[in-house]
Amino acid sequence: MTGRLAGRTALITGASRGIGLGIAEGFAREGADLLLAATNADLLAQAKSGLDAYGVRVETAVVDVTDRDACFDLVRKGTDAFGGIEVLVNNAGIYLARPFLDYSFEEFHRIQEVNLYGVFHLMQAVLPQMIERGYGKIVNVASTAGKWASRNQSAYNVSKHGVVGLTRCVALEMGRHGITVNAICPGLVHTDLLDQYREVHAELAGKTVDAVEAEFRARVAAGRFLDVAECAHLAVYLASGESDGMTGQSLLLDGGMLFV
């Protein structure tokens, strides 16, 4: 531990597994106290058990980010427990692949509710205290899907394009308050979501999972998928004082899949 985030409290959504849990571990290693939010109480308890070993304070809350009141209650809980929240990581997200014409309105809307409106709710909940403090860090986890077009996942892409746009606009308004707002746009990362992604796209393409995985790897200059720890390294940078001069950016972390 080098203490790059010592003395700070971070609220991380979708923190019970995958990229969110990886970011939580990276933050704990750097000395941040944590408020972890997710929808699965058992997985949150497991996450807390592992993170307690770093000697930081870890609190958890079962929260659905589509519930605006619950999001504001979550921020109040963090403020009461820790005295404030200096870092917000919006990582909660869902994925559902469909050809565009096969999406029901309810499916399309649900993805926007979680992936985009959840970010909206939590930023509005946490920003007033950051403004009052004159300092804050917001890290939104978007996706390469927020940068380009993809087949059979228009709802997901729309939600992540929205996160990228929201990141830019809020950064523009918050800069004078000493608050930075940036986004990470991961590519193909080893998580359970990647397993789902491969299986669904194999079914839609009428190919084997192995064939689809080979096609995915061929699209990446590095020839491999990323690890959640690599996302955590970038999140730590964006949450630390090292990135005080960076805001409104949506940073590709994809092993060279997109060059935009």
- Amino acid at residue number 90: N
Average pLDDT over residues 196-218: 84
Whether 116 and 162 have beta carbons less than 8 Å apart is answered as: yes
Residues 97 and 182 in one domain: yes
Q: For residue 195, what pLDDT band results from cuts at 50, 70 and 90? A: confident
pTM: 0.95
Residue 55, Cα to own-chain centre: how many angstroms? Answer: 24
pLDDT confidence of residue 1: 53
Q: 53: domain range?
A: 9-187+226-253
Lookup result for tokens 């408020």: 35
Q: Which helix (H) or strand (E) holds 126?
A: helix 118-133
Tally of domains within the chain: 2
Average pLDDT over residues 71-83: 97
Render pLDDT for 125-155 as a digit per residue (tens, 0 to 9). Answer: 999 999 999 999 999 999 999 999 999 999 9
Residues designated as active site: 156
Query: Is residue 259 assigned to a domain?
Result: no
What share of the chain in percent tops pLDDT 70? 100
Average pLDDT over residues 233-247: 98
Query: Is residue 260 assigned to a domain?
Result: no
Query: Is residue 2 assigned to a domain?
Result: no
Q: Give the C-alpha separation, 5 to 28, whole Å.
A: 8
CATH number at residue 180: 3.40.50.720
